[in-house]
């Protein structure tokens, strides 16, 4: 069996830093389709160092509700998929994302040094550094004697930052039959702590249609959609409990001050911690909408729902966490974990019944902000960690 030291020596830290900086220098905000296409090409060239076949998969159709309450199509970039040894008896899934939260016109565009061990830049931690960790771990793993015993699929999507709506079906397809999964989000804390159990998330758009009227001459003939939306907001917040939060985020609608508004679009987010909380909320939400329709004489249509289910940690998933911890110990790394309120593609993978550790990426911090940074030594550290985990899984480690 290949040892930890042998694996660590196979990691090219300088190459990792170069490719991370090169990938981060290309803006790939989720809505920047040309930027995503450029990054997808760079990634396809880099991952061609691995055996298997690379394909760029078209995104699934996605619709959203605009401020006028109409369905509109949302375009996304293509997703990269690599399949290696599909015939292997034991196969795993590795996932990451090429998109960032920074649109093409965002001022945060450049990679700059912070100090001797850190760089700042868009996506350096979340997660172009993580993509380098994945790539270099796989390159090192392919040089081990047991590599031929383990097959894997790699999926790098273009829409994780907005919920993976155009890639969720691909994730589910690739997760089917997998023994385990690793996802390359940055660590939960700069010290390398992993995210353990996660809550879920759901985004909703509620279109409320009333009846317009003159606010002075005949207001009684109108049906105020803004008032109905406000009432719905207040009632939704009363559904909060220990296992779920509700965040009303925005109301669009209305026109002139002397017109009873006939349209409102309410947007809100929920964070259920359990599947039971999700099911309970859906029933309560449907009842609320029906009650307000009757009370305010408006028509309500709903769009959206829970797109990332809660991610508990079952016995098999805990064994995978334990394996990561033990591999870290062999490499001189201390690996711990803690629950997280955030969500990622690990939620989707766990919902398919596959054990997953979803913060195998770099150490860093301040993600989703212009202060985002990457701790450079963590590139090689985390690549060695993943390579050793894959080696143990290939050698027959049971979960």
The residue to which tokens 């009684």 are assigned: 220
Q: Structural domain tally of the chain?
A: 2
Question: At 295, which CATH number?
Answer: 3.30.70.360
197 neighbors 311 (Cβ within 8 angstroms): yes
Beta-bridge partner residues of 22? none
Residues 150 and 139 in one domain: yes
Residues 68 and 211 in one domain: no
Question: At 124, which CATH number?
Answer: 3.40.630.10
pLDDT at 385 over 90: yes
105-122 confidence digits (pLDDT tens): 999 999 999 999 999 999
What is the CB neighbour count within 10 angstroms for residue 349? 26
Instruction: Looking at the chain, list the stretches that DSSP marks H as alpha helix, in order from N- to C-terminal side.
Output: 4-9, 13-24, 33-47, 129-142, 168-175, 225-237, 275-296, 315-330, 345-351, 377-394
Would you call 21 helix, strand, or coil by DSSP?
helix
Q: What is the average pLDDT across 148-155?
A: 98
Measured CA to CA, the distance from residue 97 to residue 237 in angstroms comes to 33
Residues 244 and 387 in one domain: no
pLDDT at 1 over 80: no
**Taking the chain, what is the end-to-end CA distance rounded to the nearest angstrom?**
18
Task: Find the length of the chain.
Answer: 399
Residues 316 and 303 in one domain: no
Strands (DSSP E) contained in 116-262 are: 118-120, 150-157, 180-183, 194-198, 201-209, 244-253
95 neighbors 349 (Cβ within 8 angstroms): yes
**Helix/strand/coil percent split, the chain, to 5:** 35, 25, 35
In a domain, 340, yes or no: yes
47-104 confidence digits (pLDDT tens): 999 999 999 999 999 999 999 999 999 999 999 999 999 999 999 999 999 999 999 9
The residue to which tokens 């769009």 are assigned: 303
Residues 172 and 221 in one domain: no
Residues 171 and 242 in one domain: no
With pLDDT > 70 as the criterion, what percentage of the chain qualifies?
Answer: 100
Residues 151 and 258 in one domain: no
Measured CA to CA, the distance from residue 187 to residue 342 in angstroms comes to 12
Measured CA to CA, the distance from residue 202 to residue 200 in angstroms comes to 7
Measured CA to CA, the distance from residue 358 to residue 167 in angstroms comes to 17
Give the residue from 238, 273, 308 where a domain finishes.
308
Residues 72 and 8 in one domain: yes
Q: What is the average pLDDT across 334-347?
A: 97
pTM: 0.96
Residue 370: pLDDT band with limits 50, 70, 90: very high
pLDDT at 158 over 90: yes
Number of Cα atoms under 13 Å in the Cβ half of residue 140: 31
φ, ψ for residue 225, nearest 5 deg: -70, -30
Q: What range defines the domain where residue 284 resides? A: 201-308
Measured CA to CA, the distance from residue 161 to residue 176 in angstroms comes to 23
pLDDT score recorded for residue 3: 84
337 neighbors 159 (Cβ within 8 angstroms): no
Encode burial over 314-344: b for 16+ CB neighbours within 10 A, e otherwise: eeebeebbebbbebbebbebebebeebebbb
Residues 327 and 374 in one domain: yes
Angle between helices 129-142 and 33-47 in degrees, nearest 10 = 20
Residues 51 and 174 in one domain: yes
Encode burial over 215-254: b for 16+ CB neighbours within 10 A, e otherwise: eeeeeeebbbbbbbbebbbebbeebeeebbbbebeebbbb
Residue 2: pLDDT band with limits 50, 70, 90: confident
202-249 confidence digits (pLDDT tens): 999 999 999 999 999 999 999 999 999 999 999 999 999 999 999 999
294-327 confidence digits (pLDDT tens): 999 999 999 999 999 999 999 999 999 999 999 9
Residues 57 and 150 in one domain: yes
Give the residue from 271, 290, 308 where a domain finishes.
308
Would you call 149 helix, strand, or coil by DSSP?
helix
pLDDT at 5 over 90: no
Residues 245 and 222 in one domain: yes
19 burial type by CB count under 10 A (0-12 exposed, 13-18 middle, 19+ buried): buried
172-208 confidence digits (pLDDT tens): 999 999 999 999 999 999 999 999 999 999 999 999 9
Give the residue from 273, 288, 308 where a domain finishes.
308
205 neighbors 303 (Cβ within 8 angstroms): yes
Token duo for residue 53? 């076949």
């Amino acid at each position: 069996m290949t040892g930890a030291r042998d694996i660590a020596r196979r990691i090219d830290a300088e190459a990792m830093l170069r490719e991370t900086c090169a990938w981060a220098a290309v803006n790939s905000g989720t809505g920047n389709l040309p930027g995503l296409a450029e990054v997808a090409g760079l990634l396809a060239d880099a991952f061609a160092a691995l055996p298997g076949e690379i394909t760029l998969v078209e995104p699934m159709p996605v619709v959203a509700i605009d401020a006028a309450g109409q369905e509109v199509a949302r375009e996304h970039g293509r997703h990269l998929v690599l399949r290696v040894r599909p015939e292997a008896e034991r196969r795993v899934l590795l996932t990451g994302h090429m998109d960032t939260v920074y649109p093409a016109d965002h001022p945060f565009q450049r990679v700059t040094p912070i100090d001797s061990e850190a760089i700042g830049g868009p996506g350096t931690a979340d997660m172009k550094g993580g993509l380098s960790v994945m790539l270099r771990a796989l390159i090192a793993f392919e040089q081990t004697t047991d590599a031929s015993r383990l097959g894997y699929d790699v999926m790098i999507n273009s829409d994780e930052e907005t919920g993976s709506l155009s890639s969720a079906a691909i994730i589910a397809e690739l997760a089917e039959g997998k023994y385990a999964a690793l996802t390359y989000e940055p660590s939960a804390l700069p010290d390398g702590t992993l995210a353990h159990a996660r809550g879920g998330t759901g985004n909703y758009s509620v279109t409320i249609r009333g009846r317009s009227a003159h606010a002075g001459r005949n207001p009684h003939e109108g049906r105020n959609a803004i008032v109905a939306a406000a009432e719905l907001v207040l009632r939704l917040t009363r559904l909060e409990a220990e296992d779920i939060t509700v965040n009303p985020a925005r109301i669009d609608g209305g026109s002139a001050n002397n017109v009873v508004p006939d349209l409102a679009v309410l947007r809100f987010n929920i964070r259920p911690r359990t599947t039971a909380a999700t099911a309970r909320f859906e029933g309560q939400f449907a009842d609320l909408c029906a009650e307000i329709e009757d009370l305010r004489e408006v028509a309500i249509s709903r769009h959206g729902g829970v797109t990332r289910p809660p991610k508990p940690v079952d016995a098999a998933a805990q064994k995978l966490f334990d394996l990561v911890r033990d591999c870290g110990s062999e490499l001189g790394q201390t690996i711990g974990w803690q629950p997280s309120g955030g969500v990622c593609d690990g939620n989707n993978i766990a919902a398919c019944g596959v054990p997953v550790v979803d913060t195998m990426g770099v150490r860093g911090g301040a993600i989703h902000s212009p202060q985002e940074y990457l701790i450079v030594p963590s590139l090689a550290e985390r690549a060695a960690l993943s390579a050793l985990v894959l080696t143990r899984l290939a050698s027959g480690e049971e979960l």
